[in-house]
Amino acid sequence: MLPPESLLPQVLPTTRLSPTGRPAPELREELRRIPNLLNTWTVVGVYLQSFGVIAAAVWIGHPLAYVVAFLLLGRAHCLINILGHEAAHRLLFSNKRANDLVGKWFLAYPSFNAFDLYRRAHMAHHKDEMGPNEPDQGFYAGYPIPMDSFVRKLKRDALFISGWKNLRPLVKGLAKPSSRPLALRILTTQLVILFGFTLAGRPWLYPLLWLAPWMSVWKVLNRLRAIAEHGGMTRSADRRLTTHVVRQTPLARFWLVPYKTGWHLAHHVDMGIPFRRLPALHRELVAAGWVAPELEYPSYRALWRALSSGRAVAVDAGVGAELLED
């Protein structure tokens, strides 16, 4: 899955970028500004979308509306988790206390995420991608894999098996004094959500349109996104060897990589840049010649085809086109 050396031109540093691609101080100051008011509206918007979809399904009352809502609530967990990721980086709000308060109680805990544990693990991921302490090695290692193995993984995600595997430690955590406080915070948040559905006279909506989409649709989306970020890459100081580059489309940004998280190479070049400014850093990397156009996969579908090909695939436009035609 690694790109050939011919697609990794050594053109840095420049007056605007350091040898690793990070912005020079003046540019970095511009890119690292956190838009607090916009992010406040973004968090509110996540909840309006999520519970608005549920309300619309109830109002329509047709079984197909509930099917659509089920799928969209899987996407809602994607939205919540990506914003939780932003909070874990302390990039959601410039006030650290507000950042962590919202990150925990309005983003992480509603989506069964242990915020502080996730932050520590995720910082280890950024410190040394694919290194010996990589917490997500199980997601990324071994690619490309055969198609049948790829399908089995997605089936486990879609059929609640992966979801239960992730939920089980939370249940067990209630029995352990060391993990009980965190497990109780997550459980309390879930009970508040259940209480809200109960007040509306429809407690069954909690398992149907909150828990079940998290245990299935979200797990599929999370795997597809994660392997598209780092699947089959290697440990390196050159982030072009740790992180894939994929062309962003409106459909992918709606379902898979909301909040500009698809510009993932830029995020790994400088993890201190808020999500709204990642495309700007990506443009700087392209303008400098450090990210060559041929390094970019033409679509996520092309990259998933390569990841499930069971063989190493060179990254160039020709390969992407061939995969799309298969």
Cβ neighbours of residue 130 closer than 8 Å, sequence gap 6 or more: 137, 140, 230, 233, 234, 235, 236, 242
Percent composition of the chain: helix, strand, coil (DSSP 3-state, to 5):
65, 0, 35
Q: Taking all residues of the chain, what is their mean pLDDT, rounded to a whole number?
A: 94
Q: Where are the domains of the chain?
A: 5-325
Which residue type occupies 77? H
pLDDT band at 139 (very low <50, low <70, confident <90, very high): confident
Q: How far apart are the first and last CA of the chain?
A: 18
Q: Which two tokens stand for residue 213?
A: 């989409």
Contact in structure between 81 and 118 (CB atoms under 8 Å): no
pTM: predicted TM-score of the whole model, two decimal places: 0.93
pLDDT at 298: 97
Compute the residue count for the chain: 326
In this structure, are strands 245-246 and 296-297 parallel, antiparallel, or unpaired? parallel
What does residue 23 show for φ and ψ, rounded to 5 degrees?
-65, 150
Question: What average pLDDT score do residues 153-182 get?
Answer: 95
pLDDT (tens digit, 9 = 90+) per residue, 14-48?
999 999 999 999 999 999 999 999 999 999 999 99
pLDDT band at 311 (very low <50, low <70, confident <90, very high): low
In the predicted structure, residue 315 carries a pLDDT above the cut 70:
no
Question: What average pLDDT score do residues 125-139 get?
Answer: 92
Q: Which two tokens stand for residue 55?
A: 């309300």
Contact in structure between 82 and 261 (CB atoms under 8 Å): yes
In the predicted structure, residue 321 carries a pLDDT above the cut 90:
no
Question: What average pLDDT score do residues 259-276 get?
Answer: 98
Count of Cβ atoms closer than 10 Å to residue 192 Cβ: 12
